[in-house]
A and B are shown apart, each in its own frame.
Chain A
């Protein structure tokens, strides 16, 4: 548990929402939380363990909601839309069984949403996974890269994706996504 308060400031704070009328909408997610859950490192992604963890989370913190996005064997991002105070985070971290460690990454991993009918055409310019709905369906997440920037890509809906990126890369990725979307958004939109 850290002994200093973290001040969550969006890296996108000064950026105007300039493409509200474009075909591709790119918007920061300014609320909610990202917790990094670290379990025992094993050689496989264990679905049963994930379900047990989800049950524990629901019991410990029913107020938070949110979902688990698998990152690696024994590692998840617990992501939700409600803001969580640092006191509440400490309570939750203390209640999880000792085999799990919880780290508040809300300040370190920032989220943005990319939405629009041609969103797959935009993302396909950079992401390294197949975005076909039959392969990467709604609700699925993948840790991958967008160009050279590591990011977690989550499909929220057919034409809507959430991207979780390290804060220090967020600004670069933001501009890259706008370049990738430019052909669909036009110069004045």
Chain B
């Protein structure tokens, strides 16, 4: 087993239980925003070196979408929260 991820609902689980969707592009543009802003939001990614926020789906466990802090250099994972918390904070 490789990296362990602490799911807020299920506890420590190996990464094999998860499906990774990719970067959390925030903030989400307004519905009527310019097409280029939406293009950027939907298609363009920064691929940063260091801290990175990603959507992970706990497909082999609770099946909730999570948001995970990961360091792209060390692969260390930090905060893991349920993705719905971003919605309530207006950050998704």
A contacts, CB < 8 Å to B: 41-45, 71-73, 128-130, 142-145, 150
Residue B82 at the chain A interface, CB threshold 8 Å = yes
Residues B60 and A72 in contact, CB atoms below 8 Å apart: no
One of A42, A130, A143 near B61 (C-beta < 8 A)? A143
B62 contacts across to A, CB distance below 8 A: 71-73, 143
Residues B9 and A128 in contact, CB atoms below 8 Å apart: no
How far is it, in angstroms, between the C-alpha of A129 and the C-alpha of B10 when the chains are bound? 10
For residue A170, give the distance in angstroms from its CB to the closest CB of chain B: 17
B10 contacts across to A, CB distance below 8 A: 142-144
How far is it, in angstroms, between the C-alpha of A144 and the C-alpha of B14 when the chains are bound? 10
Known interface pairs A129-B13, A145-B16, A145-B17; A43-B60 also in contact (CB < 8 Å): no
How far is it, in angstroms, between the C-alpha of A87 and the C-alpha of B85 when the chains are bound? 40
B45 contacts across to A, CB distance below 8 A: none
Measured CB to CB, the nearest residue on chain A to B82 is A43
Residues B12 and A130 in contact, CB atoms below 8 Å apart: yes
B11 contacts across to A, CB distance below 8 A: 129, 142
B63 contacts across to A, CB distance below 8 A: 72, 143
A145 contacts across to B, CB distance below 8 A: 16-17, 60
A43 contacts across to B, CB distance below 8 A: 82, 84-85, 88
For residue A92, give the distance in angstroms from its CB to the closest CB of chain B: 25
A42 contacts across to B, CB distance below 8 A: 84
How far is it, in angstroms, between the C-alpha of A43 and the C-alpha of B10 when the chains are bound? 13
Known interface pairs A42-B84, A43-B84, A45-B9; A128-B64 also in contact (CB < 8 Å): no
Measured CB to CB, the nearest residue on chain B to A130 is B12
B16 contacts across to A, CB distance below 8 A: 128, 145
Residues A44 and B13 in contact, CB atoms below 8 Å apart: no
Nearest 5 Cβ contacts at the A-B interface:
A72-B62, A43-B82, A43-B84, A145-B60, A143-B61
For residue B75, give the distance in angstroms from its CB to the closest CB of chain A: 18
Residue B1 at the chain A interface, CB threshold 8 Å = yes
For residue B26, give the distance in angstroms from its CB to the closest CB of chain A: 17
B88 contacts across to A, CB distance below 8 A: 43
A128 contacts across to B, CB distance below 8 A: 1, 13-14, 16-17, 60
